[in-house]
Every structure is written in C-alpha cells, then in structure tokens.
Structure 1
Amino acid sequence: MIRAAGIKWSIHPLFVLVMMASIVTGYFVELITLFAIVLVHELGHVVVARGFGWTVREVKLLPFGGVAEVEEAGSLPSREEAIVAIAGPLQNLWMGILAWSFGQMGVWNGDWSDYVWRANLMIGLFNLLPILPLDGGKLMQAALSQTLAFHQTLVWGIRVSLAFSLIMIGYSILPLFHLDSSGIQLNLLAVGLFLFFTNWMSNRHIPFLFLRFLTNRGSSSSRSITKGVWALPIIVTRRHTVSAALRLFKRDSYHLVIVMEEQGRILAVLPEQKLVNGFLADGKSDRAVLDLFM
C-alpha cells in the first residue's frame, strides 16, 4: 500500500494472483500494460471525483478496474456519481483509439497495437456491466435512484448484481458441458465469484449502508436548504413507524413528512431532519412517526 496525493493506493489480492500467474507464464510485459491501463482508468474516476469536491480515501486496484472509497458515500448526488462512474471507461476509449491509431500509422507493431486497444475495449466494456462495484453497477444505481427510494435502490442494485454475477459464473463453466471445449474460463470464473460474494456480503450489510446514508443525510439536507430546493412530500399515517418513513426517502430529494389521517386531515408536518435526528438519537425505528411530536 502506498499513499499518494492524500489517497491510499493498494492492489487487491485478486490482482496479485493475476500478476503471479502472468509472471509464471511469461506475460510480464502484458501484465505491466494491463496494470497501466487499470491505473489510468482509475485515475479518471479520481480526477473527476475530486473535481466535484469528493474526499477519496482509498483506491483498490483490481484486474478489471478499481474500487474507490469516498468519505461522502451515501450522500452524493446521483448525477455526480454517474459522471464519475463513466469517467473510467472514457479513459479506456481514448487509450484504445490512440493504440489503434498508432498501429495504423506504423508507430507501434500491429500485434502490439491490437493487444493494447483490445485490452482497453475489454476493460471498458466489462466495467459497464450492471454489476456492483463496477462502473455499470454504479450507473444502474444512479438510474434506479431516479424512481426508487434509496433503500429500494440498495436492494434492487444488489439483486441485479447478484443475478448478473451468476450469469457470468454460469458462462465461465459452460465449456464443461461441451466435450470438445478447452475447459473452464478460470479468469472469468474467478472474477464472477469475486463479484458474487462481494454483492452477497453487501446484501447482508444493507442496514449498515442505509444507516450511513441517514448519517450523511444531515449535511446534504443543509446544502439543499441553503441552495433552496423544492421539497418532495412523504405522506404517512399515524400508524407508520419511523423505519417505514425513512425507507421512503429518495436520494436526490429533500422531504417534508406529512402525517395524515385516512380521512385526509393533516396531523403534523415534519422536516426530514427531525425524523432522521430522532432516529439517530435513540435508534428506535419501530415507534410511530407521530411520537416525535410528543
């Protein structure tokens, strides 16, 4: 692990295994090229993230890209997250075009040019798969958050990621069912298993991820009020619990929680900060929203 520009940079054990395999099989130059491509890909994310004022704490490099940990996770606007996510594959786009152009102009050997642009194409397209924590998974989450509440976004983002991870695993072992095949695609199987177990663990950690969203909600709410925004009302009954109301929160909206009787009479209007702060103060998520007024 090294620290550069205030960010911890580390190599994931999966990448270490790929490196060892490349050295043993004599593909050292290809390995260095792959590492450089992945590094530039991740630098694209970091530069754009810092441009938005994000605090990037750590970047873990993987064979297909990287995972960046940011201080403001859970409170970032979906538009910004989408732009940061697409910044990585865009680096592969210009690097691939440059490598192809060098081959056409004779600057690089044709075989080497083909390897570099194909490697960029593979990494760029692979990262656009709708699987977390890939860039495509983050784009999927940003899109889901436009229509779903944040808790639902977490749940469905992970469900879709698990489904596509299983498809990847199934595709990697498909050659087992063809006798004339060369065997299992071990690299794809390893990546598929990694992505599956990563999302399996994330599924178990949804309560923690949602709590982090709520913890960071105060600062994002303050920014919204300072700028002046339209409030999105959430209508609940006196029987709604604090937990049920919080799960209706949307990522990019500021909410006013309206407690209403079934006949339509408004009992109370609660700014979202009071609901969040009331929950964070005592952790009682099963009490009625109306109790916060008593």
Structure 2
Amino acid sequence: MCTGRPALTDPVDCALDIAATRAGNELAAPGASPAQTREEPGSPVESRGRNREAIRAGDAEHFARDRDAARPGDIYEPDGFDLWPVAEVESFGFLPLSGELSPAEVGSAVRRIAGCNDIDPDGDRPPRPVDALGSFLHGLLTFDNLVAAGGLRVTDDSTGVTFLPGCCDGLEDWRDWHQFIDGGSLLGFGHDPVSPVAERFGDTVRLTVNAEQSGSPVIELSVAALRKLLAGAERDLADFLALAADWASRHLPGHCAPVTAALARVVDLSAPAIPPEA
C-alpha cells in the first residue's frame, strides 16, 4: 500500500524546507519537467525560476554553515527566530502538512514558507518595512510567484521504499502531478546526483527514487491509485490552510488576511474564510 501527504523540508535541505505526501501520506509539490514547461521571457515560470535560483544561493550558504555547526542527531533550530512560536524539526527532514499539526508546527511551516521567499526586493517590488515582522513577511506578501520547498513524498508501506521530493521540487507545483497522470509520460523532480523521476506506462505509474543510480528502488502503482492519493493530498492541504488561517488570526492578527491569501496561492487552493480575531 502506498501513502502520501503535504509537507515542507528543513532549511538546511536542498529544496525549500517543507514537504507533502499522500500515497503513503505526505505532499511536497514537484516541479514540472523541462519537457513539459517552456520558459518564455518574463513569464511566471521564468520569474519563479529566478526566485528559486536566488533562494538556492542563500540555502547553500546556510547549508554549509548549519551543517558544520550541527552534530548527528541534533535538531535544527533557527538562530534567534522569535517572531512567533515554532516547533523543533528534524534536520534534513520533512514536515507533513495537514490539519493535524500543532500550533508550533504550523508556525514552523509558515516560517519556512516565508523564509523561502525572504529575498531582498528588486526594482519591481516595494522596499522592506523597517519592523522585523513586516520585513520577514515582505517577500511572502509581495512576490507574484511564490515558492515553497517540498513536494510529493510517496511511501510504499509494503516495501518501505520512499520517493522523496527532489531539489527542483516546490509545493507550489503540486498540480503538475495531475497534468502528468492526465497525459504526461515523464516528470522529473531533480538532477544529478539525485534525480527522482515519475513515468507512466499505460495504467501504471513508476516512481524511480534516483534515475542516476543503476538498480534504484522503485514504486509502482496504478493511475487510479495515484489519483486517489492526490485527492487525499488536496484534502490535507485544504485542512492545513484552514488551520493556518486560524493560527494567523491568533499569532499574526495584523497580517492574517494577506498571509492566509499568500499561503493559499502557494498551494493553489482557494483561501479559507478568515476566522474572527481571538
């Protein structure tokens, strides 16, 4: 049996730091393969690509610093982050997104999504606010094309094989899975040295953990089963959004509506109703 669900990854990871799956149950959004998406100059795809490249450059610096400071088994905690409560997240791990997260876990998810887009404004965006909270949320609230590290993580319960999001995944692209099963033959999520790949052969989907590795573990499931997993992932994401809206009303009362709307754009779902301030 396979499971999957939405999730995000930790900041020291290659991709943005939260993942999602549901086929086993966690969902981090995969990016479209080059064959499926053509980047026109000035298009949202190109803009999102530039955004992601800037993030990768920042992640590489943090990765080197944090990896050197951490010991095996250590829990990564962002130094000095005190804008709202956050949970401890395993280093190099994923945070599954659903309606079952604790308030501190929601805080970690929002922190990571905001951090993925925390890039200095260019000429197309207004300058950062001077206050710490407004400055940190600025990218999340002003970027047209938001990104969030993660993707669809699929686990085969019968074998223990797990298909993880690659470094080119983004939670914002999770609907590419639907395009893939509706007509695509191949969907890639990364590049050397680890290249997760999804392929469709008739009514069967094969998920290769690392196409760069000979004899890589694979997961095979039917197209119908994958559709059910994606439907479950969408429910998880909707439940997470509702939870995040309630969390924002309590922890970010002055930014609740725009933060909720931004999170909804990240996962490509309609924003839930904003609860009254507590």
TM-score if structure 1 supplies the norm length? 0.28
Q: Which has the larger radius of gyration?
A: 1
Which has the larger helix fraction?
A: 1
TM-score if structure 2 supplies the norm length? 0.29
